[in-house]
């Protein structure tokens, strides 16, 4: 799989990456599912934008984990984007179908690699990975699924096929590291083992048939 190098320290940086990398699809109208503070709204010019979430600054406040259909009409937005959101939902599989239903043409979906984020904490005995621990009070949001790069990639391929959606491009992002560091890691952890340890996110751009 193609790997691109990107480091996101803040949500704004990730959103800027999405707006640049997927600019060809983010035209006319965009539905941002799981928008939180909706930083994408400020980065799209001349585009009808709608952000949906239960927290932050959405245009439509809606509990994405309710199991209910998205409060939008069929094929109502040219592009539907859902960036590192599905892993927060019990109803992940049903929500993918809702993304397809709302899209008139394009879908942009990404999934993180939780293995990468939790691995070092677990190996070093530090525990309490932020989105998987047991907080003293029930949080409003947390990850519901713990998977690796391989599972994220395979699910996106399967879901696209199931819903009759064409994958236009699929790639992974990895944090910037010196070439010698990457080379040593590839030797020590060949093939899928490397991707499961170090890939940050799996990205897809899809087109509805």
Range of the domain at 164: 3-208
Is pLDDT above 90 for 139?
no
pLDDT tens string 71-86: 999 999 999 999 999 9
What's the sign of the alpha-carbon dihedral 124, 133, 177, 198? positive
Instruction: Give the CATH number of the domain where residue 34 resides.
Output: 3.40.50.150
Euclidean distance between the first and final Cα of the chain, in Å?
24
Q: Taking the CB of residue 51, how many other CB atoms lie within 10 A of it?
A: 23
Total domains in the chain come to 1
* Residue 148 C-alpha from the chain's centroid: 13
Q: State whether residue 165 is helix, strand or coil.
A: strand
Residue 127 scores a pLDDT above 80:
no
Q: How far apart are CA 129 and CA 118, in angstroms?
A: 6
- Percent of the chain whose predicted confidence (pLDDT) is above 70: 99
Contacts with 43 (C-beta within 8 Å, 6 or more apart), sequence order = 15, 16, 19
Q: Which of 27-31, 50-54, 107-111, 123-127 has the lowest mean pLDDT?
A: 123-127
Cα radius of gyration (the chain): 17
Rounded CA separation 102/128 (Å): 36
């Amino acid at each position: 799989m193609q790997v691109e190098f990107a480091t996101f320290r803040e949500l704004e940086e990730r959103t800027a990456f999405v707006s640049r990398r997927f600019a060809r699809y983010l035209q006319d109208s965009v539905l941002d599912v799981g928008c939180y503070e909706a930083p994408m709204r400020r980065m799209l010019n001349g585009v009808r934008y709608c952000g949906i979430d239960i927290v932050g600054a959405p245009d439509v406040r809606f509990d994405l984990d309710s199991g209910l259909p998205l409060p939008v009409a069929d094929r109502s937005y040219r592009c539907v984007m859902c960036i590192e959101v599905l892993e927060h939902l019990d109803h992940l599989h049903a929500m993918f179908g809702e993304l397809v239903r709302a899209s008139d043409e394009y879908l942009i979906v990404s999934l993180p690699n939780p293995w990468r984020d939790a691995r070092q904490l677990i190996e070093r005995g530090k525990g309490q990975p932020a989105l998987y621990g047991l907080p003293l009070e029930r949080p409003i949001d947390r990850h519901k699924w713990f998977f690796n790069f391989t599972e994220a990639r395979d699910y996106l391929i399967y879901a696209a096929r199931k819903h009759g959606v064409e994958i236009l491009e699929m790639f992974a992002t990895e944090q910037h590291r010196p070439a010698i560091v990457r080379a040593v890691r590839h030797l020590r952890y060949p093939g899928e083992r490397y991707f499961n340890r170090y890939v940050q996110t799996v990205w897809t751009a899809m087109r509805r048939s």
